[in-house]
Amino acid sequence: MSFIKSLGLITIVLCLIFAALVYLQGYNWIHPYIWYMILFFLIVTGFTYYIVSAGSKSDPGNFQMYYLGSTLFRVLMCMGVVFVYVYFATQRELQFTLNFFLLYFIYTGFEIYHILTNLRRNSKKQL
C-alpha cells in the first residue's frame, strides 16, 4: 500500500477512535484541539516523508542527511507548537501535551515503519 493511502487510513482510524472517546467520555481524556493536532501531524508527516523519499531518490548516498534533517524539522515544529500552547493556554496544558505526544509517537512510528520498508525493498534490489 502506498504511503499516502496508509497515512490516510491511519488518520481515519485515529479520528474514529478519538471520536468514540469524545462521544463516550466527553473531553475528559481528549483535548478539544485533538482535531487540529491530527491535521498538524498529517501535514508534518506527509512533508517529512516527502523530503526523505525525494532526497533518497535523487541522492541515495545521503539518505541519513535527509532523514536527520526531516527528523529535526519534525522535532522543532512539535516543540514549537507545544511551547506556544503551554505559554498561551490557561488550562489543560498537561492534557494537550499528553495527547500531542501520543500522536507524535504514533505518526513517527508509522513514518519509520514506511521508511524502513522502502529501505529494505531498495537494498534487496541492489543485491
Using one digit for the tens of pLDDT, what is the confidence trace for 60-93? 788 889 889 999 999 999 999 999 999 998 889 9
d(C-alpha 74, C-alpha 81), whole Å = 11
d(C-alpha 44, C-alpha 64), whole Å = 19
d(C-alpha 42, C-alpha 40), whole Å = 5
Q: What is the CA radius of gyration of the chain?
A: 17
The number of folded domains in the chain is: 1
SS3 59: coil
0.95 cut: is pTM over it? no
Instruction: Return the C-alpha cell found at 52.
Output: 526523505
89-121 pLDDT, tens per residue? 888 999 999 999 999 999 999 988 888 887 666
Name the residue range of residue 113's domain. Answer: 3-126
4-34 pLDDT, tens per residue? 999 999 999 999 999 999 999 999 999 999 9
